[in-house]
Structure 1
């Protein structure tokens, strides 16, 4: 295989027309440059530079190569140059985001307004997040994944927290729980909605209740918090949902759960190949600002 470093040497030799000047420019000794020229002659099968009086002149083959070699060297240098800032107003690109409907309902409009103002050529493809599999990030089917941090996510995926949240209870206005203190017994005696994207019939609330010697009755299982909130608003069912997702909702009574549960982090995840990408970095910064306190 040819030594591609010889392209840089050939480019400088053709530009300088002198072994000595080319050696100085590349910080090499004249003898090292002479050896490099010999290798170039062997590789190309052409003398490339020949004596003409006191100097060297390019052969017809060298003249034919000069423009092509110069272009190749410039393209290689541009490819290896550190990523520069990008004018987002000129970017034409589509990013695929995978997240929940409730996240889009809560933060999507603000994100789209930012994009419309600063990057009108940027388009989002929004996919529903149904699991925590990171394979779509590795396979480049998804550019950014947003959801609750999974401790088992592989080290090849980068993660940054957007915000911390907690579960709270919600019922319709006028529900019996909307009057008076919500005790553990009153909470457990109600009819509950349970959110499980994988269709499971119990979760951390049930485990915490069991540790206290209490059980609750799950009346309906749904796949997302947006559905749970909508049903709680129009029925007598009790939903336990992330606090950030009900900040703008009317016709709901919110209360602290009468049991201790850990808070959790909602984060964005991406593959390292996109970490330094200027447009992707801009999109991540927008999400951080939109989801900020």
Structure 2
């Protein structure tokens, strides 16, 4: 038989026939007439090239080929039924053994990977979390299944990508404790622009929305250092007179409030407005109905809401 001629219904019939050892018993179990079951047995014999069940007195006995196939056919039938059965919506996370790959920024890895790992490990100790770097916002790794979940600002126009808001964020200024900018005098656009600045940018771009706002006032920042991520900018600001802009989420009164990276730093409101941005969980729709993936998304959401309560 050609592959296109295979009738998978025959697999179920063969499983029942080999289990019952009787055409009548198999017919009863499948809700068929004895004659219909006899015709099915004839088709099975033609398909396999083996008699399968032969007369022995008043009953039927399996041929060696049928005996060899019995366990295999039963396993295949069980697997096929499992594939076509509606998916279980609940998952036993305590016994779940699975690896999830999560693509995150350096800032998320610095400030929130610890709380996320602690929460996940407490509920699902057999899970493995693999945090992958985020060199760009390309949707291809999500589409190809290389990444299970991404955390960050949505930067792809891929129409099928799913998102779930984790929290709103915005940029604030940071400087070392005792910095001259942080005296009793108000941080004006002029005083702010007169400082030396650090910019966090993976791509090396140094023009940000605050530069456009300052330009409208006839002002321009002096960029002295460009680093790949916000934790790098915070570290340099803590040890120098340079100032930086970093997400407010690095300094919230939540899970990250006492983080070592924030020690020795003070925050201030930028003298010109900076736009708010959304930090989201991002995934491919193929994972929508997966109960384990849904549990992981809910866990990340819970941790982020605890760390960054809405104001």
Q: Same fold (TM over 0.5)?
A: yes
User: Would you say 1:238 and 2:251 are equivalent positions?
Assistant: no
Alignment partner, residue 96 of structure 1: 101
Count of matched residue pairs: 291
Contact 1:166/1:262 (8 A) holds in 2: yes
Contact 1:97/1:143 (8 A) holds in 2: yes
- Unpaired runs of at least 5, structure 2: none
Q: CA deviation at 1:131?
A: 1.3
Q: Which of 40, 46, 57 pairs up with 2:60?
A: 57
Q: CA deviation at 1:43?
A: 0.6
User: Would you say 1:45 and 2:37 are equivalent positions?
Assistant: no
Q: Cα gap change, 1:163/1:56 in structure 2, threshold over 3 Å: closer, same or farther?
A: farther
TM-score, normalised by the number of residues in structure 2: 0.81
Alignment partner, residue 279 of structure 1: 292
- Aligned mates of 1:138, 1:124 — CA distance in 2: 19
- Aligned mates of 2:61, 2:270 — CA distance in 1: 83
Pairwise CA RMSD: 2.7
- Unpaired runs of at least 5, structure 1: none
Higher mean C-alpha deviation, range 68-77 or range 254-263: 254-263
Alignment partner, residue 267 of structure 1: 280
Q: CA deviation at 1:226?
A: 0.6
Contact 1:83/1:276 (8 A) holds in 2: no
Q: Which of 3, 11, 14 pairs up with 1:10?
A: 14
- Aligned mates of 1:38, 1:198 — CA distance in 2: 69
SS at 1:130 equivalent: coil
Q: Cα gap change, 1:176/1:31 in structure 2, threshold over 3 Å: closer, same or farther?
A: farther
Alignment partner, residue 265 of structure 2: 252
SS at 1:291 equivalent: helix
SS at 1:265 equivalent: strand
Contact 1:49/1:56 (8 A) holds in 2: no
TM-score, normalised by the number of residues in structure 1: 0.85
**Cα deviation 1:264-290 (Å, max 9, x = unaligned):** 111222334444344333322221111
Q: Which of 122, 138, 141 pairs up with 2:143?
A: 138
Contact 1:103/1:245 (8 A) holds in 2: no
